[in-house]
Amino acid sequence: MSKTVLITGGNSGIGFEMALALAARGDRVIIAARDEAKSAAAVASIKAAHPDAQIAAVKLDLADFGHIDRFTEYLLKRVPVIDVLILNAGLYTLKLHTLPSGYEAMIGVMHFGHFRLVQRLLDAVVAAPQGRIVVTSSVMHKLGRIDARSFTNPKKHFSGLQAYGQAKLANLLFTRELARRLKDTRVTVNAFHPGAVATDIYRQVPAALRRLATAFMLTPKQGADTAVWMATDEKFKGVTGKYYVSRQRRRGSAASRDPELAAKLWQLSERAMKAS
C-alpha cells in the first residue's frame, strides 16, 4: 500500500536518496527543504528516473519558527495523514553562526526546528495506520553534551565539532523521549547513524581536506539505506526508541540513554517553543 512520506532536507545527499528510493516503491513523497531551486531539480531528477513517481516539494526553513508554522498549516490542509516523517535536514558550520531567533545554527535547525515541526505535525502521524518517525542522528553524538547556555550563548572559543555533536545528541535524546511519550500509540520513533557520507554538509570544510576526507566515505545511497529500511520494513511495527547503525541496533552513548537528560531537554524545548 502506498504511504505518504515527508522528508526534511530531501533535496540532496542522503535525503535525496531516501526520496528516490521511496518514490520508486510507489510511495507519495514530499521533499521539505529550504532551497526551492535544488528541490525542483531533485523532483525533476526523480521524475526522469521514475515517470510515475508521486513526488513533490514544499519550501521549509527550519531556522525560522514562523515559517515552520506557516509550512505546517499549508501542508496539513492538503496532507492530513503522514505515514512516515523523516527528520533528516542537517548542517555543519566551522565557525559560529547564529540564527535570527538567537539560537546557534546547528542546535537551532537540527533540534529546535525539528522539535517545532513535530509539534505541529504529530497529529497527522498519529492518524496513520502505523506512523513512523525516523531521525537522522550521528555517531558524532558521542562528542556532544547538552549545555543549555550554549544554545543561545555559545562560548567564545566555539567548536563546530562539539556543537554538531550536541545537536546530534539532542536528536537522539529527542527520539528516546518522543518514543516514551508515544508508547500508547501506534507511532514508532527511531534514530540512525548514516555512516560517514560524502554530502554537501561538508561544504564549509577547506576544499583540499574535503576531497581527501570524502574519498573514503560512503555514497549518499549507502548512507540512506538504513533510513529506507526503517521506514519500510514490517519488523519496525513495534520497535521504538532505538538507535541503528548499518541496520544494526546500537546502544549509543551513556548520555543518549539518560532518561532524565532526555526529559530535561524536552522541557527546555517546550519552554523555548512557548517563548517564540
pLDDT at 227 over 90: yes
Which one of 45-49, 154-158, 219-223 scores highest in mean pLDDT? 45-49
Report the pLDDT value the prediction gives residue 153, as an integer from 0 to 100. 87
Report the pLDDT value the prediction gives residue 10, as an integer from 0 to 100. 97
Report the pLDDT value the prediction gives residue 212, as an integer from 0 to 100. 39
Report the pLDDT value the prediction gives residue 156, as an integer from 0 to 100. 75
pLDDT (tens digit per residue) in 170-212 = 999 999 999 999 999 999 999 999 977 545 554 555 554 444 3
Question: Residue 229: which pLDDT band, with cuts at 50, 70 and 90?
Answer: very high
Query: Domain-by-domain residue ranges, the chain?
Result: 4-275
pLDDT at 216 over 50: no
Catalytic residue numbers? 164
The set of residues, in sequence order, having a beta carbon less than 8 Å from that of 45 and lying 6+ positions away, is 16, 20
Report the pLDDT value the prediction gives residue 211, as an integer from 0 to 100. 47
Domain 4-275: which topology?
A: Rossmann fold (3.40.50)
Question: Residue 150: which pLDDT band, with cuts at 50, 70 and 90?
Answer: very high
pLDDT (tens digit per residue) in 92-112 = 998 999 999 999 999 999 999
Output the pTM of the full model.
0.92
